[in-house]
Structure 1
Amino acid sequence: MPIPANRMGEPCWADLMTSDLPRAREFYTRLFGWTASDSGSEYGNYVTFQKGDVDVAGMGAQEPGSTLPDAWTTYLAVTDADATVATARAAAAQVLAEPMQVGTMGRMAILMDPTGAPFGVWQADEFTGFGAFGEVGTPVWHELNTRDYSAALDFYTRVFGWTPAVLSDTDDFRYSTIGEGDDMVAGVFDAAGHLPDSVPSHWQLYVGVPDVHAAAATVTQLGGTVIREPWTAEFGTFSLVTDPTGALFVLGSVDEPNDAEPDADLPIG
């Protein structure tokens, strides 16, 4: 379905910073049937992935000598990137990249929330973000896995005006969703008791596929890694995977029958 109009404070884009552009380009185009277009030197040869004729994700190269892991970044839509960064800084966020103009496309910044999860903000000019959402080959969900659930909800509510809806609130499973009704687009998971010690809070991208088991097998064939074999939960079938250089993302079922019992471990991821 077409994504709702660029709603402020909610995910509007995701891009990959990779240490191997050619390899990542081959992996994602083959896995999801995406096409890839290079923006040229004016925009640092940033790559835009498309599914059909709509933009679905982006990709850029890591800086030479970077020690940062390859990773996907979720961007939240804002009306004023500079003002948002100031508000976020006052709410204990770290600014990883100060607001910068991206030609005529828009203005961006990269932050780290108070629980340690990096994310971006995007102030749209000519480019508004995703052209579709919730379909095969497009993002279907965004999820914040946080080590400090209360602090995360407080931060995003204060800075981005979120009104979280509680899905579950028990010691075993604590989760809130963002968005209304059928337009829910993101979730916040209390991952303190689930993440390995070496894994910090992070935003996680879900991409839709018609058959998660088949897609997970293709990930392996293309040089990626299946971190968690496909599992079925209340909202579909999922698999946590990485691309060939280690960037994490989740395969999520679209239009796939779900006859199994929900997995009490995670309702979304």
Structure 2
Amino acid sequence: MKLTEPVTGSPCWVELGTPDVPGAQAFYAAALGWRSETDPRPEAGGYTMARVGEDAVAALSPTYRPEQPPAWTVSFATEDADDSARAVRSAGGTVLMAPMDVFDLGRFAVAADPSGAVFSLWQARAFTGAKRFGDPGTLGWTELRTVDVEGALAFYPAVFGWTADVSERFTHWAVDGAEFGGLKGLPRDGERGQGETPSRWLPYFTVGDTESTAARAVGAGGAQLSPPRRVPGGPCVAVLADRRGAAFGIQAP
């Protein structure tokens, strides 16, 4: 990811929704080396900040509904969450949670693209997002896995102003010329195999070594969904799941 700090339209934060925050704290400490701190204020609802050193890099949050599956959500920076929510609707997406203020930290909304991939909008005030990108233990890439590639190529540029470098092998997303993620097509409903998931955003965290990180994750109670492999001309990547099944990627430059 060719970003060192959040800019308008770029990924700025990642958050895990899980019914077991203490278990997630232990798992990601073992797998990625995170140190985590839970906000003690009752109104914070158990929101937990994960850090690399002193820098905030991600969050662990209790799920809000019993039926909500454990999952990672990517947040994208916006100058105006309300305007971006309107842009989501105009482009055919859905606003799942209307914009709301989060203390003095910023303004937040949850949305889904037309294929159902969920993401968040973040209008920064006191909190701008992750303090580091691309270092070990921090967000290094984001990937949209979707059943509607053409729809995604229309939706996200309309909402965020992204550009897409489309090739036969892979499609890269960029904002202001800086690449930050990719696009991978999935089979449509009725064509997917057992266990294949619908559209979603998948965060990739940078690690020093993919194989040893995958082994630590499995040893901590997680699972290996996609074994380490070398991307031609790129990093070594793998897809893992934590103890509760939330999927995430890792990459070693």
TM-score normalized with structure 1 length: 0.87
Higher relative contact order (CA 8 A, sep 6+): 2
The residue type paired with residue 71 of structure 1 is A
What's 2:136 paired with? Answer: 136
1:85 aligns with 2:80: no
Is 1:156 matched up with 2:156? yes
Give the secondary-structure state (helix, strand or coil) at the position aligned to 1:114.
coil
- For residues 87 and 233 of structure 1, the distance between their equivalents in structure 2, rounded to whole angstroms, comes to 34
Tell me the amino acid that sits aligned with residue 174 of structure 2.
I
Counterparts of 1:74 and 1:200, CA distance in 2: 16
The residue aligned with 2:241 is 242
Which ranges in structure 2 are unaligned for 5 or more consecutive residues?
Answer: none
Identity across aligned pairs (percent)? 35
Give the drift of 1:151: 0.7
CA distance in 2, matches of 1:116, 1:61: 22
1:177 is aligned to 2:173? yes
Contact 2:48 2:59 in 1 (8 A): yes
Structure 2 counterpart of 1:209: 207
Instruction: Provide the rounded CA distance (Å) in 2 between the counterparts of 1:122 and 1:28.
Output: 24
Shift of the 211–4 alpha-carbon distance from structure 1 to 2, 3 Å rule, reads closer
SS of the residue 2:133 aligns to: coil
Q: CA deviation at 1:87?
A: 1.6
Q: Report SS of the residue matched to 2:136.
A: coil
Check whether the contact 1:176–1:189 (CA below 8 A) recurs between aligned residues: no
> For residues 231 and 2 of structure 2, what CA distance do their matches in structure 1 show?
25
1:8-87 matches, cutoff 5 A: 8-40=8-40, 41-63=42-64, 66-87=66-87
1:253 equivalent in structure 2:
252
How large is the Cα RMSD of the aligned pairs? 1.9
CA distance in 2, matches of 1:140, 1:210: 12
Give the Cα–Cα distance (whole angstroms) in 2 for the partners of residues 7 and 145 of structure 1.
23
Work out whether residues 97 and 109 of structure 1, in 8 Å CA contact, stay in contact via their aligned partners in 2. yes
Match of 1:221 in 2: 219
Query: How far apart in 2 are the matches of 1:74 and 1:62?
Result: 15
Distance 1:212 1:88, change over 3 A: same
Q: Point out the more displaced range, 40-49 or 192-201.
A: 192-201
Change (3 A) 1:2 1:56: farther
Instruction: Say if 2:76 is the partner of 1:111.
Output: no
1:175–1:190 Cα contact (<8 Å) kept: no
Residues 154-209 of structure 1, C-alpha deviations (whole Å, 9 max, x = no match) = 1111111112222x13xxx442332466x421112223379646511100010111
> 1:123 Cα deviation (Å)?
0.3
AA of the residue aligned to 2:96: L
SS at match of 1:184: strand
Question: Which secondary structure state, in structure 1, belongs to the residue aligned with residue 236 of structure 2?
Answer: strand
Q: Is the 8 A contact 1:2 1:132 kept in 2?
A: no
Tell me: CA distance 1:5–1:250, structure 2 relative to 1, closer, same or farther (3 Å). closer
- Distance in 2 separating the partners of 1:119 and 1:85: 11
CA distance, structure 2, for counterparts of residue 180 and residue 91 of structure 1: 21
The one-letter code of the counterpart of 2:43 is: E
Residue type matched to 1:186 in 2? G
Equivalent position amino acid for 1:29 in 2: A
- Name the SS of the counterpart of 1:9 in structure 2: coil
Please list the CA deviations of residues 48-95 of structure 1 after superposition, one character each: whole Å capped at 9, or x if unmatched. Answer: 1010111110110012x5212100000010011111111211211111
